[in-house]
Amino acid sequence: MADTLTVIDNRTGKKIELPIEHGAIRATELGKLGLVSYDPALLNTAACKSKVSYIDGDRGILRYRGYPIEELAEKSTFLETAYLIVKGELPTTSHFRMWQRNITMHTLVHENLKQFIQGFRYDAHPMGILIAAVGALSTFYPEAKNVMNLESRRVQTRRLIGKMPTIAAFAYRHSRGLPYAYPDNDLSYTGNFLSMMFRMTELKYKPDTILERALDVLFILHADHEQNCSTTTMRTIGSSLADPYASVAGAAAALGGPRHGSANEEVVHMLHEIGTIEHIPELIKQVKRGERRLMGFGHRVYKNFDPRAKIIKQIAHNVFEVTGKNPLIDIAVELERIALQDDYFVSRKLYPNVDFYSGIIYEAMGLPVAMFPVLFAIARTAGWMAQWAELVLDEEQKITRPKQLYLGYDERPYVPLDQRRDGGALETEVSGPL
């Protein structure tokens, strides 16, 4: 049997045979019939070949470079997983030591970047600060525009993985009016991050080992997730050969949306709003009436349990042993139980996703809600950089430039201003703050 797909255009009788490779046909082949494929939100379009992460949404499987997420969460560390994601293989002991050292030596940021962050209003959202500060990094490292240069790509990758926690922590300290705490390179990646977040006047901050490990596992779980919205943004910006700081700033902007990396922020708001278990049925009714979404539920790819959600639920208990129980967990567990018995959610295959429990843990650890997407961005930087490197090396890739179906007006003549009647597009005068 031939690995082809036969397409007949019944308007013309023209027939073409499309080769099938890796379970895909090339949409450009449809051009032979004068057709384009229409796929809003790219629901059934593979825009790249990738070797970084693999998801089987029906079976609830996630692997980085072939390794199951469950094994990495149990046995690996974030920095080791980042190495795996970026370089394709797990490191040997000596290479891991060098990687650790090379990342650690990039944890400091230029003092001018610190001043740039200081310029934000006291109540600036830390995600906004992160996006702006990462974008600004490209002005500090103009050589990063040499995206085809291997050594340059390596340096920018280490810099970004090294500096993201520092920028994130500075953004947080800024919102609290606290002096910025500089990196402590004796600590682990997550230990140092906790130190930069929470160190007060003590000379040396000692992170709680359970919280340090919990955060490390959370970072592992968020490190990559194939062609999600922010990674697609990273690749789209990268396809113009923009430097990686500009691309990461764009990817982080995409991540900041409530349908993507800010969903855990929305989950915590929602759980606070529910307040007590008795109010859950009312929320479920609102969701079923289509008035709102059950945040932390549903996923474009997982039509089964998100494997990361299962791991996170376990971590929650370790964290609560240190911090005391976050009362939101009882509401979340009950909400999950009720939803998973309800035909609305079952028939649509809506299960808890990674964000359903992560916010509760972060909150228990004293990490404010506004920092949730920022934490996500720190971890996802490893994935973004791996996917970006894959993109720039992929000879099949070009600048991303999708087609459109134009449904607007045909050509029409310009009407002078004094001859126009009230049309559909109106503008009203507004008053108020600028």
What is the footprint of ligand ACO within residues 293-332 (CB under 6 A)? 293-300
Does 224 bind ligand ACO (CB under 6 A)? Our answer is: no
* Contact call for residue 354 and ligand ACO (CB under 6 A): yes
Find the shortest distance in angstroms from Cβ 92 to ligand ACO. Answer: 32
Q: For residue 69, state whether it binds ligand ACO (rule: CB under 6 A).
A: no
The correct pick among 107, 138, 192, 353 for binding ligand ACO (CB under 6 A) is 353
Active-site residue set: 260, 299, 355
Asked if 228 and 260 count as a contact pair (C-beta separation under 8 A), the reply is yes
- State which of residues 234, 268, 287, 360 lies at the interface with ligand ACO (CB under 6 A): 287
Nearer to ligand ACO, 42 or 105 (CB): 42
Cα-Cα-Cα-Cα dihedral sign, residues 88, 53, 48, 392: negative
CB of 330 to ligand ACO, least distance (A): 20
Q: Both tokens of residue 233?
A: 């943004």
Q: Quote the CA–CA distance of 298 and 265 in Å, as a whole number.
A: 16
Nearer to ligand ACO, 259 or 317 (CB): 259
With CB atoms as reference, the residue minimizing the distance to ligand ACO is 298
Q: Which two tokens stand for residue 16?
A: 């073409």
Q: Binding marks (x or -) toward ligand ACO, 161..200, rule CB under 6 A? A: ----------------------------------------
Among 97, 259, 317, 337, binds ligand ACO (CB under 6 A): 259
User: Taking the complex as a whole, how short is the minimal distance between the CB of residue 234 and ligand ACO, in angstroms?
Assistant: 14
d(CA 394, CA 238): 12
Q: Which stretch binds ligand ACO (CB under 6 A): 143-151, 160-168, 202-210, 348-356?
A: 348-356
In the bound complex, what is the minimum distance in angstroms from residue 349's beta carbon to ligand ACO? Answer: 8
Among 61, 106, 77, 351, which residue's Cα sits nearest to residue 226?
61
CA atoms of 66 and 49, how far apart (whole Å): 15
**In the complex, which residues of this chain contact ligand ACO (CB under 6 A)?**
259-261, 263, 287, 293-300, 348, 350, 353-355
